[in-house]
Amino acid sequence: MDLIVATKNKKKFAEIKAILKDLKLNLSSLADIAHSPRIVENGKTFQANAIKKARKLARFTGKLSMGEDSGLCVDALGGAPGIYSSRFSGKDKSDAKNNRKVLELLNGLPLNKRKAHYVCAVALADKHGLVGVVEGRCDGVIGFELKGGSGFGYDPLFIIPKYKKTFAQLGEKVKHKMSHRYHALENARKIIKKYIEKQRRS
């Protein structure tokens, strides 16, 4: 079965493919679609953005589509950057600038005041409408400096207390078994399986 993911982020798409590889889906992304629709992420929550992406892409392609929205929520920053995670540093955003801004805002705070969590919302829709929406979460703390060369986004800052290492240090093998995206996609997996079974019966 075809599943189209509403993202042009190559690293994010690679993670989704890796986590869902056993479902044997024919996965493609917005980057593979000519004249794909522009989706404005103006929802107030991760779920609202994910639903908007899934619905718009499903209407455009007529196929099962996945919308995903995720980000970092830092307790000491009142949940920021939150839904603005990818564009936290403004117009000329980049992972490096986003990370630098978080570090600057947390400057002087001890480790026990640097609690944070990643959130990932995943929505599935087809041409008839929304099929389901799920969420995943992963808790950690924000480090004092960037560490590690794996992953993307805030991974070099996001420390998993159990390992005392960042996602960027732990690497994909560990991250893909405990991340916010892993938990959301594990919940989405159940919906996808039911959807496939339903299509086979109809």
Catalogue the active-site residues.
Answer: 69
Going by C-alpha positions, the residue among 176, 39, 65 that lies closest to residue 129 is 65
46, 119 Cβ separation under 8 angstroms: yes
Buried-exposed string 60-91: b where 16+ CB fall within 10 A, e elsewhere: bbebbbbbbbbbbbbeebeebbbbebbebbee
- What count of residues does the chain have? 202
How far apart are the two ends of the chain, measured CA to CA in Å? 14
Residues 98, 89: Cα–Cα separation, whole Å: 5
99, 157 Cβ separation under 8 angstroms: yes
